[in-house]
Chain A
Amino acid sequence: MACIDARGLHKSYGKTVALEGIDLRVEEGRILGLIGPNGAGKSTALQAILGLIPHEGELTVLGRNPWTAREALMSDVCFIADVAVMPRWMRVWQALDYMDGVHPRFDRAKAEGFLAKTSIKRASKVRELSKGMTAQLHLALVMAVDARLLVLDEPTLGLDILYRKQFYDSLLNDYFDHSRTIVVSTHQVDEIEHILTDVVFLDRGRIVLDVSMEAYEARFAELLATPEHVAAARSLGPIHERQLFGRSILVFEGVDRARLAGLGEVRTPGLADVFVAKMTPTFPGREQAA
C-alpha cells in the first residue's frame, strides 16, 4: 500500500492557485524530498497531507482521508514544521507529560533518553530554549513516537549548521528503519540529498520532477567539459550551463554518459544544480532537450 496517494490534488486560496492538481505517490519506507522555491506549494501539499486544510482531488494517507480523519491519522503520523510551533509557554516536563497522556504510540522513556543527550533542562520553558534546542526537543518528542509517516516542513529553518547536521543525523541513525516513511521539504537541498531515496521538484503548484534517486543518477549527468569539446557538448542539448574557473559545466538530462565521457569529466550533478536547471526556464538548451 502506498503511504501517500494523491491524484489531482488541487488547492486554491481565493484566486491564487497553490496546487494545480498534482499526482503524487509515496511508497512506504521511502524518504522523499519535496523541493521548490518559495510559493511553490510545498507547505500547502504537506498541510493537505496532514489534514490541516481542506483540498480538492483524491488524497489518501495511510489509507485514510486526512481531512475527515485527522485525529485517527495523527496516531500514525508525526509532523515538525519550522521551530516556531512548539508552544512557548510550555515547560519540557509538561511536553513530556502531555505527549504521554494523549499519544497512544508515545514512548516516554525513549524521549527522555534522547533529551538526556542534549543540554535541555526539564524545568525550562520553550521560550527559554534556543532555536536549536527547541528543534532538538521537538525531534526528541517526535522520534519517541512509533509513527509510520513523519512529515517535516522546513524543519531546520533558522538553525545553525551544527544543529542542522545533528538533526538529520539523529533522524537517520536513531529513527529511520525502512518501515517508516519520511517526507521533508527544505531549501537546504545539499544537506538532505544524501539521505533521500526520492525527490520531487515543485514549481508554482506543479510537479516539475518526480524521480527516485537511483533513476536520478541514470537520468542526469554533469559534464566538466574540456575547452576544445565545449561546442560539441553544447550540441548535445544541455539543460543548464555555468562557468567555473573559466571552464564550462553542463548539466544533461537523458543523455547517455558514454557519449559524454569523451568530452570531459562526467559525474552526477548535485540536486541544487539540477534544481536550478529545472527552475530556469529561459535557458535555450532546455527547449532543445525537451
Chain B
Amino acid sequence: MSAERKVRPFYWSVRRELWEHPAIYLAPAAAGAVGLLGFLVSTLWLARSVAGAVPKNDGLMMPYVFTALAVMMIGFLVSIFYCLSALNGERRDRSIQFWKSLPVSDRTTVLAKMAVPMVAAPMVVLAVILGAQFVMLVFSTVVVLLNGVDPGRLWARVDLRLMWTVLPYGLLVNALWMAPVYAWLLLISGWAKRMAIVWALAPPLGLALFERLAFNSTHVIRFMIERVVGGFGEAFSVKGEGKAAIDKFSDIDPVHTFSSPHVWGGLAVAGLLLAVVVRLRRSRDPI
C-alpha cells in the first residue's frame, strides 16, 4: 500500500465547477469587454470634454459606473443560473455517480458549489471591473496627452479611489446578503427533477398570492424583493437605506452593515438550507 498523498478536495471541487461552468468568468468578462469597447469609441470626443469647462455633474465618470453596473448585473445573473443547475446537471447526466465514486464528501461538494456564487463570481466581477476601468483610465490618459491637454484635468474628474474601495466592500456585503437566496436555489437544484427555476419561484410567489388575497397585504412579496435586490442597497447606499448613493469615504459604514440582524439572520437561514442540500445530495438518485 502506497503512502497517502496530500489532497485538496475543496480547492479542486471549486476548480471543477469553474471548468464545467465557464460562463461564471466568460459572461462578466464579455460584459466588461463590451463596456470597454464602447468607451474606447467614445474617447474620440474625450479631449474636448476634458479641456472644456467643468460642469458639476459631467459625464466623465459615467462609463466607469455603467461598466461596473453591467458587469455586476451579469455576474449576479450568472450566479443565479449557476445555482439552479449546480446540483441538477450532475444528476441529469448521471455524472454524479462518477463524482460520488471519489473520496470527496457531499458536504465538501455542496460547500464548493456555494463558494462559486459567494466567492468565485464576486472575485471575477471585481477583477473584470478593475481591469476594464484601469484600461479605460490609461487609454483616456493617452488620448488626452496626445491632444495636448493636461491629464491632471482628467484625473481630477475621474477619481476611482472611492469606487475601488466601495466595490470590494459592496460585493462582499451583497454576497452575504444573497447567501440565503443562493442556498435556496441550490436546494431546489438538488431536489427538483426538471424546471428548477419554476420550483424555485413557485413557493414564494404562491405564498405572496395567498397573502394578497387572504389578508390583502404584501409582506411576503416585499420581503422577497428586499432579499433579492436589497443587497445592492445595503452595500452601496448610505446606511443601507437605499436612498442616497455612497459618495464619500465616510458613507461606508461596516458597523451598521455587520450589526444588521438581516445579514446575520440571512446567513443562519443559508446555513440551515445548506445542511438540507447536503442531505439531498447524499440521497437523491440520478434523474
Q: Is B250 an interface residue (CB 8 A)?
A: no
Q: Is B94 an interface residue (CB 8 A)?
A: yes
Q: Is the CB–CB distance between B11 and A70 below 8 Å?
A: no
Q: Is the CB–CB distance between B102 and A74 below 8 Å?
A: yes
Q: Is the CB–CB distance between A146 and B2 below 8 Å?
A: yes
Q: Is the CB–CB distance between B19 and A85 below 8 Å?
A: no
**Quick one: which of A86, A91, A103 contacts B103, CB cutoff 8 A?**
A103
Within residues 1 to 49 of chain B, which ones have a CB less than 8 A from any CB in chain A? 1-2, 4-9, 11-13, 15-16, 19-20
Q: Is A34 an interface residue (CB 8 A)?
A: no
A interface residues, how many (CB within 8 angstroms): 36
A105 to B4, CA, bound (A): 6
**Quick one: which of A54, A72, A94, A99 contacts B102, CB cutoff 8 A?**
A99
**Quick one: which of A89, A101, A107 contacts B20, CB cutoff 8 A?**
A89
Q: Is A245 an interface residue (CB 8 A)?
A: no
Known: A71-B104, A102-B12, A105-B4. A84 touches B19 (CB 8 A): no
Q: Is the CB–CB distance between B95 and A146 below 8 Å?
A: no
- Could you say which interface size class chain B belongs to? 20 to 34
**In the assembled complex, which residues on chain B have CB atoms less than 8 Å from the CB atom of A75?**
4, 103
Q: Is B215 an interface residue (CB 8 A)?
A: no
Q: Is B147 an interface residue (CB 8 A)?
A: no
A154 to B212, CA, bound (A): 55
A198 CB, nearest partner CB in chain B, Å: 23
Q: Is the CB–CB distance between A102 and B13 below 8 Å?
A: yes
Q: Is the CB–CB distance between A103 and B100 below 8 Å?
A: no
A70 to B20, CA, bound (A): 24
Q: Is B218 an interface residue (CB 8 A)?
A: no
Q: Is the CB–CB distance between B101 and A101 below 8 Å?
A: no
Q: Is the CB–CB distance between B1 and A85 below 8 Å?
A: no
Q: Is the CB–CB distance between B2 and A101 below 8 Å?
A: no
**Quick one: which of B7, B20, B106 contacts A102, CB cutoff 8 A?**
B7
A74 to B283, CA, bound (A): 17
A208 CB, nearest partner CB in chain B, Å: 27
Q: Is B217 an interface residue (CB 8 A)?
A: no
Q: Is the CB–CB distance between A87 and B7 below 8 Å?
A: no
Known: A74-B102, A87-B93. 7 other contacts (CB 8 A): A52-B100, A75-B103, A79-B97, A84-B94, A85-B94, A103-B102, A103-B103
Residues on A lying within 8 angstroms of B by beta carbon are: 50, 52-54, 70-75, 77-81, 84-91, 94, 97-99, 101-107, 138, 146
User: Which 3 residue pairs spanning A and B have beta carbons closest together?
Assistant: A101-B12, A79-B101, A87-B95
